[in-house]
Amino acid sequence: MDVIGKDDAGRRWSIGEIARASGMTVRALRHYDEIGLLSADERTASGHRRYTERDVRRLYRVRALRALGLSLEEIASVLADSEGDLAAMRDLLTAQLRGLEAHAVRIQQLTHRLHGLLEQIDGALMPDPDQFMTTLEMISVFETSFTTEQREQLARRRTELGSEAVEAAKTEWAGLVEELLRHVQDGTPVDDPQVRALVGRWDTLASGFHSDGEDGERTKAAAQRTWEENSEEIGRGLPWPVDRMRDLVHYLERARQAG
Amino acid sequence: MDVIGKDDAGRRWSIGEIARASGMTVRALRHYDEIGLLSADERTASGHRRYTERDVRRLYRVRALRALGLSLEEIASVLADSEGDLAAMRDLLTAQLRGLEAHAVRIQQLTHRLHGLLEQIDGALMPDPDQFMTTLEMISVFETSFTTEQREQLARRRTELGSEAVEAAKTEWAGLVEELLRHVQDGTPVDDPQVRALVGRWDTLASGFHSDGEDGERTKAAAQRTWEENSEEIGRGLPWPVDRMRDLVHYLERARQAG
DNA sequence: CTAGGACCTTCCGTCGCGGCAGGTTCAAGC
DNA sequence: GCTTGAACCTGCCGCGACGGAAGGTCCTAG
């Protein structure tokens, strides 16, 4: 019968045999030994590792937990906790699940953003690489300035709009910024009908981001003032691209006054 | 007017100013310098970095691309390619998107598996930690043995069934294996009605995995033989858990002959 | 007895920095 | 001009989970 807790008898395996059988590499097994996660119970006189059946059982557990995405440290702790405390295990797996969910959200955001940018490239809307990079810079500035100060407001709006709407808006900014920048650079008059249409879209998007609980006009002014403050605070003397953004906002202001 | 390509005139910024303005850390900027991604154009006589406007522009591009999840090496290469080759950029972003999609699939799988395991724990179906670990080991062995030899077949079935169905099946294995293992250990007679029901579920699941283009009986035999070969090949003398799996399969065989 | 494969330890590399040690320099106030 | 504290410099170790190589020892089949 089985003698539990003793390995006086029974087969021993070399590290290579264990590796071939378990699908792990010899190097990984030695690493587990190094960090104390799984060391061979015995050594031969010459120092070769001899794994016992108990070791093999532990290895299979390690591998199973690693396949679930746990770190080696977490695995060590959960295997140390009475070799299988289900409550600790449940907590760990739950935490792992939370982490994965957060990760999934992040990936979703990035995926959406990349789709938007690729569409812009493929749509031949942006033949100029420099312009494209500038747009990227703008979005970067735009997002970081908002995530620093107005994260809470954005979070509230996000729950109302649904996060997809926010993401969609973000990628729509790309094209909008690009077109308006071109007009700023070209010095297109602010009462140009095309410009007015773009400004209209801008304000629509902006009002979606800011709290428009009061009246609409005050909101737009507030949005603009927010930008002023942000650029002053963030880009203390920096010319790029906060400065370009400021130019763009000034241009927008003039366009609104002209309309 | 702007003098492009020359920075003889214009403001210079220290590394701290750049860091505060861009939201990056001083350490990160020095790292970018170290790896040659972004070095300050000039140095003071004493060695302090002096960043020019060109550097700042490059930094913003780096930050934007990093926010899209690109590696610093990729960023360096795409910024080196004529400072903005849109085709190269498009390729990189596309590759990035592919990577993210693959990542999302992986996360989805892990999430599903974790949900299944947590349900089993919470459902009080598994009061014994050791039994739970054993189940984990089984699933691990099961999956690795299938991913090595029959990956193509599985892939074909996956596209037919839809990946969710395959995932659902995988987590259903957990409970099935656990219950059957208990019967094997307890020595429940193979003609027990409960055991027969479990075997029925097992075969149903298995037939979903294997190609059942021919007749059903041959499929089951083939599935079983596959297991035999796998355990022989993989666990050459290993007692655990391939051996337990072999016992389980033998038990299944006897149950089928009894039925 | 010999050959070649399996095994051993030790160290360096990954990726994107964080953080510290130990030294120099800058800018403001006196 | 002097002091002082903040900012800057280089250089090194650390992280996680190993991969890979160097240089040596051991095992086993023929």
Task: Give residue-wise pLDDT tens across range A119-177.
Answer: 878 876 656 777 788 778 877 776 665 544 444 454 455 555 555 565 666 667 777 87
B111-149: pLDDT as tens digits: 988 888 888 788 766 567 777 887 788 777 766 655 444
Distance B226 CA to C29 C1' (A): 85
**pLDDT on residue A71:** 97
Fold of A15-82: Multidrug-efflux Transporter Regulator; Chain: A; Domain 2 (1.10.1660)
Residues whose CB is less than 8 angstroms from the CB of residue B114 and which lie 6 or more positions away in sequence, other chains included: A68, A93, A96, A97, A100
**Residue A50: φ, ψ to 5°:** -120, 110
Q: Are A160 and A216 in contact (CB under 8 A)?
A: no
Query: In chain A, which residues fall in CATH 1.10.1660.10?
Result: 15-82
Tokens of B117: 């395991």
User: A with B: how many residue pairs have Cβ under 8 Å apart?
Assistant: 171
Q: For CATH 1.10.1660.10, list the domain ranges present in chain B.
A: 15-68
Contact at CB, B97 and A113, closer than 8 angstroms = no
* Tens-digit pLDDT profile for residues B167-218: 565 667 767 877 888 898 899 999 999 999 988 887 776 665 444 444 444 4
The stretches in chain A having pLDDT less than 70 are 1-8, 82-84, 124-127, 142-171, 205-242
The 8-class DSSP code of residue A259 comes to -
User: What positions of strand C are covered by protein, i.e. any atom < 7 Å from a CB?
Assistant: 6-10, 15-20, 24-26
CA–CA gap between residue B176 and residue B130 (Å, rounded): 16
In this prediction, residue A160 carries a pLDDT of 57
Instruction: Please give the pLDDT value at position A21.
Output: 83
Distance CA A250, CA B236 (A): 76
The confidence score (pLDDT) of residue B152 equals 46
Q: From residues 158-197 of A, which are strand D contacts by CB within 7 A?
A: none
Helix axes B129-149, A53-67, angle to 10 degrees: 70
- Among 1.10.1660.10, 3.10.20.30, 1.10.3720.10, 1.20.1440.230, what is the CATH number of B15-68? 1.10.1660.10
- Tokens representing residue B132 in the block: 């739970």
Give strand pairing partners of B49.
B43
What value does the mean pLDDT take over residues B94-102? 95
The tens digit of pLDDT for each residue in B29-67 reads: 999 999 999 999 999 999 999 999 899 989 999 999 999
Is residue B63 within 8 A of residue B45, CB to CB? The reply is no
Exposure class string for B27-55: b at 16+ Cβ within 10 A, else e: eebeebeeeebbbbeeeeeeeebbbbbeb
Question: For the stretch B115-137, what's the b/e string if a residue is b when 16 or more beta carbons lie within 10 angstroms of its beta carbon?
Answer: ebbbebbeeeebeebebbbbbbb
Give the distance from residue B219's alpha carbon to the nearest chain A alpha carbon, in angstroms: 27
Contact A118 B65 (CB under 8 A): no
Contact A129 B86 (CB under 8 A): yes
Which helix (DSSP H) or strand (DSSP E) does residue B189 occupy? none
Cα B143–chain centre separation: 13
pLDDT at B127: 64
Strand D, nucleotides covered by protein (CB < 7 Å): 7-10, 16-20, 25-27
Using the CA of B19, give the nucleotide whose C1' is nearest.
D7
Tell me if A117 sits within 8 A of B93, measured CB to CB: yes
Q: How far lies B68's CA from each of A242, B65, B92, in Å? A: 20, 5, 11
Q: Which nucleotide is nearest to A45 (CA to C1')?
A: D26
